[in-house]
Structure 1
Amino acid sequence: MEFEFTRMSPNGQIVIPAQIRKSAKFDAKDRFLVISENDTIIIKKLTRADFAKDLALLGRIAEAEEQVRKGETLTLPASMPIKEQMRKLDEYGHSLQRGVRKKKSKTR
């Protein structure tokens, strides 16, 4: 991993340092996806092949964050066998589809 320092201009522009642009193979006409989370910004180079996948992933992340906010979560112990975890997840998914919402995070 590389790191360098930069700063923002009064117009809100940030220069990506030359060495990082070179190692990431960024070109002047490239397009980027910019993701913000609190004080962290992620810049991902877009390719046509990745664009649809990235958009779908962002949609799933937003949906998952909304489910967490609503308390629609399920916590499973790491020690539980994977087949049992999958069964519990399947049961939980079916209860959500039927409209049976869990109000709080539940450990099984």
Structure 2
Amino acid sequence: MEVAITKISQNGQIVIPSGIRREAGIEPSTQFLVFNEDGNILLKRIRKETLSNDIKLIEKIQMAEEQIKKGKFVKVKSSMKDEEIDDLLMQ
């Protein structure tokens, strides 16, 4: 895994260093989902094959965050399937 430092420009642009782009196979015009997680910016490459799963995951995360803010949560086991977890969350 390659690690590098970059900075944001006055226009709000961030350059992903060439070694990271090369290692990840990122070409010009590659699209990303951008997340703000407590002030940490996360990028996830958008791929056609996984876009619908990515959107579902984002929706689940947002729903879970809302429930946590309300003081509601459920305990799950790591061995549970996604459908079982979804059922618990919908209760």
Name the TM-score, length of structure 1 as normaliser: 0.67
**Shift in Å at residue 39 of structure 1?**
2.2
Equivalent pairs, count = 86
**Cα distance in structure 1, aligned partners of 2:75 and 2:58:** 23
Structure with a larger share of its residues in helix: 1
Q: Which runs of 5+ in 2 are unaligned?
A: none
Give SS of 2:50's match.
helix
Gap runs ≥5 in structure 1: 83-88, 98-108
What TM-score, normalized to structure 2?
A: 0.79
Q: Which residue of structure 2 aligns with residue 102 of structure 1?
A: none
Higher alpha-carbon Rg: 1
How well do the aligned residues superpose, as a CA RMSD in angstroms? 2.7
- Structure 2 residue aligned with 1:19: 19
Determine what percentage of the aligned residue pairs are the same residue: 36
C-alpha separation in 1, matches of 2:74 and 2:45:
34
Residue 63 of structure 2 is matched in structure 1 by 63
